[in-house]
Amino acid sequence: MDAVWEVYVSQTKYGPAYISVNSALEANAPLATHPISVNCNLEQLQVDGYKLPTQTARAKVMLFEKKAKALIQNEQSHIYAGRVSLGDFTLFNFYSSNGAALVNAFKTSKEFSTGFQFRCKAEWDGSWEFYRRTLYPNALARNKIENEKIRNVLGSQGDDGSQRRKVNHFAHFPDSVSLDAFYKHITKTGYKVESRSEKPDDNGKWSIVFSDDQAPVVMDIWTFNLRATATKLKGEYSGWESTVVLRRKK
């Protein structure tokens, strides 16, 4: 399976962290054969008055990442997990079956000998704790990522998402009991049911389509609750859709 890269912002007590993660890491690198975490810390990056990386700093981060990917391109023993930028440093994370060899490769490669101030460290991480806790998006971040995908599609068509409009939502469940419980929840909170399964589909799923008048820019708070409720009932909230509503001219 190819890498699936997702970029998002996570709020920390030190400020916003900008994260790029390979969310398909476990499909590409079995945990048992890649138990060593290698972190390379790229330091002293320029930041602006808001403590965000400058354009020059972002270019340096992307160049380091490009060279790092090339360094391990033909090595099955190493895989790139992602990076996190916070203030004036960016941490690049790899998982490996031979961490010492990867650290040495960074130290001895001429590609990193000038223009970069960094240090790499290898340590045992058999449960991929760093990847799961620092890089991989939590429920809040995952919810926002999925909504941003839809908002970006709307934005590409001139819709800034600020106007309320009918929004259709979709959810699927393993049985009629869980579907009924979800139905009771959404109707109690004001959603209108457009359609619901009377029998399972060919994949054994029971589905429901429901709607409300909402503005996409503030969708995160609504969908987070819907995802959490569906998951609690062993179902899946699969997203939303709306028509394009162009920004009103003043």
User: Residue 68: which CATH number?
Assistant: 3.90.1170
Residue 151 falls inside a structural domain? yes
Single residue among 115, 135, 155 that ends a domain in this structure: 135
Three-state SS for 54?
A: coil
- The answer for residues whose C-beta is within 8 angstroms of residue 226's C-beta and 6 or more apart is 169, 171, 186, 237
- Asked whether residue 29 falls in the same domain as residue 72, the answer is yes
- Asked whether residue 171 falls in the same domain as residue 81, the answer is no
Q: With 0-12 CB in 10 A as exposed, 13-18 as middle and 19+ as buried, what is 168?
A: middle
- Asked whether residue 85 falls in the same domain as residue 204, the answer is no
Using alpha carbons, select from 45, 49, 62, 50 the residue that is nearest to residue 7: 62
- Asked whether residue 12 falls in the same domain as residue 130, the answer is yes
Whole-number pLDDT of residue 3: 79
- Asked whether residue 206 falls in the same domain as residue 228, the answer is yes
Residue 249 falls inside a structural domain? no
Q: What CATH number does residue 218 fall under?
A: 3.30.70.970
pLDDT tens per residue, the chain (250 residues)?
A: 577 899 888 887 777 889 999 988 887 777 889 999 999 999 988 888 767 778 888 899 999 999 999 999 988 899 999 999 988 899 999 999 999 999 999 999 999 988 899 999 999 999 999 999 999 999 999 999 999 999 999 999 999 999 999 999 999 999 999 999 999 999 999 999 999 999 999 999 999 999 999 999 999 999 999 999 999 999 999 999 999 999 766 5
Whole-number pLDDT of residue 16: 82
Residue 59 falls inside a structural domain? yes
- Asked whether residue 145 falls in the same domain as residue 125, the answer is no
Question: Could you tell me if 14 and 87 are in contact, meaning their C-beta atoms sit under 8 angstroms apart?
Answer: yes
- The answer for residues whose C-beta is within 8 angstroms of residue 224's C-beta and 6 or more apart is 139, 140, 143
Whole-number pLDDT of residue 92: 97
- Asked whether residue 98 falls in the same domain as residue 164, the answer is no
Whole-number pLDDT of residue 217: 95
> What's the number of domains the chain is made of?
2
Single residue among 119, 135, 151 that ends a domain in this structure: 135
- Asked whether residue 223 falls in the same domain as residue 146, the answer is yes
Single residue among 88, 117, 135 that ends a domain in this structure: 135
- Asked whether residue 185 falls in the same domain as residue 81, the answer is no
Residue 250 falls inside a structural domain? no
219-232 and 139-155 helices, crossing angle to 10°: 130
- Asked whether residue 21 falls in the same domain as residue 35, the answer is yes
- Asked whether residue 161 falls in the same domain as residue 209, the answer is yes
Domain that holds residue 212: 139-242
Residue 247 falls inside a structural domain? no
Whole-number pLDDT of residue 74: 86
- Asked whether residue 55 falls in the same domain as residue 112, the answer is yes
Residue 248 falls inside a structural domain? no
